[in-house]
Structure 1
């Protein structure tokens, strides 16, 4: 899955299950989301009055904003009247234009190729102006169009879309691209024959664009039905083909819905690719944690011993816990860890400890990690909450602390971490009012917590 998709998926899941604090600014987060809108007047936000206002791109940007600061967003390369040829030419010529974001047009400029390179998400709406050159309004209020010209234009638009995707991916192969489909802008016309012709034309061009988009791993959002069903509400000026703000807002919501549906489909595919098999350990047959151990074993995040046992009730050391978490969440290190007491471990284990340190799961304590020390339930909670904060780029702040009497004397971060796991259903208390934060963690308990945490991710 692409970089922005992973980040967006985490935002989606955490918005659904966590009261995530939005107090930190996007600039303070570990990952600032870069969103670039390309295309014609719809991307620029031309409204029913013919003025540049809030378009679908602006509403998408607002949806992905973090706290008081918006994401890095630019619709400055979107321009009324643009065709697929114009978009291609801009990319090929690497044009420079003023940045246009939620605050309006900036005095700062950007080149389109650099903007594409830095983007995590690109939206595109273009093709309508290519088609309009083949459509003529008759004096009687009807329409006529050059059938041969329409067919040729559809083919050319498809070819240009492929070139646009190729040009974007050449600059940034990891970017996500969402394409807004065309809609019938003349729904107020009463002539059923004309409507049938227009709808056929829109469907034909949409199908052609959709094929190219999906063949190139993009997301196509078909907005035509949405707008047709709400024509009076969204196309409020019969003398203008553009949507009003309500229409753009609805289009943005549908595009985001289609995007997250695609992300969740990818996540489901990734999880279903692994077949859960029964772990071959001789000492877990009647153990309460067998199902969790089977999953952890199938995912390759926990292993057994050379004698064929798993030892589910054995306490977990800090080094072992870190290694399992790093494997479960595929963390990687770029530098060595600054700890003096891990040199006796294998290079793989040292790399795993370094990855955990870089991700902020563990912290330096006068240069020591204490790898052989047994990890407690509270310490694991801290590691997993820090991992989530690192992924999301936001500090988790709960609405209230979990109802455990035996955590009140712990520092605030530890209380919040335990609450974090409690709120998302990853851990329960040892009773209704106790968490037993100082209890050592067993291998079976670690398997359960990580399997549940991975399912929440």
Structure 2
């Protein structure tokens, strides 16, 4: 190798070294500048971050139906030989007609319960826990406020008088309003369905007129309060039993039988749909 060729090789190597050094210096300088003066990057455009649409209670309620039931023996299904009552019938019908899951969160009903007793029960956190999760709340109450003991002939003649029963309506409606108000406090958004009263003694001459009068007064007072809330409704049952007591009442002549509960369930499902 000649001296001239060797000089050219060393000159080329030196030039490469200088170039690499310059590149390193430029890259280092840009890195420092990016740290000191970082570029502004929108949060939604950051790598690996995806913004998802917000979901609220209303949209969740459209995906499934979550039912809480409470009240008296009608919600328990007393008188129905199958044990389904209106609650289970509502669930099974909705499952067939709706393309979404239908769940019974809990049935909190108690046989013989009056409205004043229900007020105390739903103020408890254990009841509130269930009610908060529901988007449909089913309620029956009031029959025992008016006629408790009548089905076993334990009511005295005075208790069956019109003025006595009217006084019971006035007292019971106050408690019903408290129940509905507390339900709305636990759950501001759920659809609350109150099942109206019927006269189980409409086929008895001695109780037909008086029973109809007090039941109608109860239902009218209940509706006047319920109608103020756009997400509450009262499902009427008075007409169902008025001329069909032998068909729809169980052997105790007070609670519905299977056919009676089926008729109530159909009304409720129609109101939900």
Question: TM-score, with normalisation over the residues of structure 2?
Answer: 0.68
Residues 223 and 37 of structure 1: CA distance in aligned 2, closer, same or farther (over 3 Å): same
Unaligned runs of 5+ in 1: 8-30, 95-110, 261-457
Aligned partners of 2:163 and 2:201: how far apart in 1?
A: 22
Deviation of 1:76 (Å): 2.7
2:102 to 66, 71, 81: 71
User: Is 1:90 equivalent to 2:103 in the alignment?
Assistant: no
Residues 84 and 144 of structure 1: CA distance in aligned 2, closer, same or farther (over 3 Å): closer
Larger CA deviation: 55-64 vs 35-44: 55-64
User: Is 1:256 equivalent to 2:269 in the alignment?
Assistant: yes
1:305 is matched with none
Is the CA contact (8 Å cut-off) linking 1:136 and 1:143 kept in structure 2? no
Aligned partners of 2:163 and 2:152: how far apart in 1?
A: 17
User: Is 1:216 equivalent to 2:229 in the alignment?
Assistant: yes
Aligned partners of 1:135 and 1:44: how far apart in 2?
A: 19
Question: More relative contact order in 1 or in 2 (CA 8 Å, sep 6+)?
Answer: 2
Is the CA contact (8 Å cut-off) linking 2:161 and 2:210 kept in structure 1? no
Count of residue correspondences: 214
Q: Deviations over 1:359-381 (max 9, x none)?
A: xxxxxxxxxxxxxxxxxxxxxxx
Residues 214 and 4 of structure 1: CA distance in aligned 2, closer, same or farther (over 3 Å): farther
- Secondary structure, counterpart of 1:34 in structure 2: strand
Question: TM-score, with normalisation over the residues of structure 1?
Answer: 0.42
RMSD between superposed Cα atoms in Å: 3.1
Trace 1:373-384 onto structure 2 (pairs within 5 A). Answer: none
Residues 202 and 86 of structure 1: CA distance in aligned 2, closer, same or farther (over 3 Å): same
2:75 is matched with 43
Is the CA contact (8 Å cut-off) linking 1:179 and 1:220 kept in structure 2? yes
Aligned partners of 1:230 and 1:157: how far apart in 2?
A: 26
Larger CA deviation: 77-86 vs 228-237: 228-237
Is the CA contact (8 Å cut-off) linking 2:66 and 2:134 kept in structure 1? yes
Deviation of 1:42 (Å): 0.3
- Secondary structure, counterpart of 1:151 in structure 2: helix
User: Is 1:247 equivalent to 2:252 in the alignment?
Assistant: no
Aligned partners of 2:133 and 2:270: how far apart in 1?
A: 24
- Secondary structure, counterpart of 1:241 in structure 2: coil
Deviation of 1:259 (Å): 3.5
Aligned partners of 2:200 and 2:106: how far apart in 1?
A: 22
Deviation of 1:4 (Å): 8.2
Is the CA contact (8 Å cut-off) linking 1:4 and 1:121 kept in structure 2? no
2:90 is matched with 60
Deviation of 1:142 (Å): 8.1
Deviation of 1:246 (Å): 1.2
1:229 is matched with 243
Q: Deviations over 1:215-240 (max 9, x none)?
A: 23311111111122322221142x33
Aligned partners of 2:58 and 2:100: how far apart in 1?
A: 21
Aligned partners of 1:143 and 1:137: how far apart in 2?
A: 16
- Secondary structure, counterpart of 2:95 in structure 1: coil
Q: Deviations over 1:123-149 (max 9, x none)?
A: 11101101125969879x988524444
Deviation of 1:45 (Å): 0.6
Q: Deviations over 1:267-302 (max 9, x none)?
A: xxxxxxxxxxxxxxxxxxxxxxxxxxxxxxxxxxxx
1:125 is matched with 140
Aligned partners of 2:119 and 2:182: how far apart in 1?
A: 8
Q: Which has the higher helix share?
A: 2
2:48 is matched with none
Is the CA contact (8 Å cut-off) linking 1:5 and 1:176 kept in structure 2? no
Residues 59 and 70 of structure 1: CA distance in aligned 2, closer, same or farther (over 3 Å): farther
Residues 4 and 254 of structure 1: CA distance in aligned 2, closer, same or farther (over 3 Å): farther
Aligned partners of 1:204 and 1:5: how far apart in 2?
A: 38
Residues 134 and 148 of structure 1: CA distance in aligned 2, closer, same or farther (over 3 Å): farther
Q: Deviations over 1:180-236 (max 9, x none)?
A: 0111112342x2x53112111211111111111112331111111112232222114
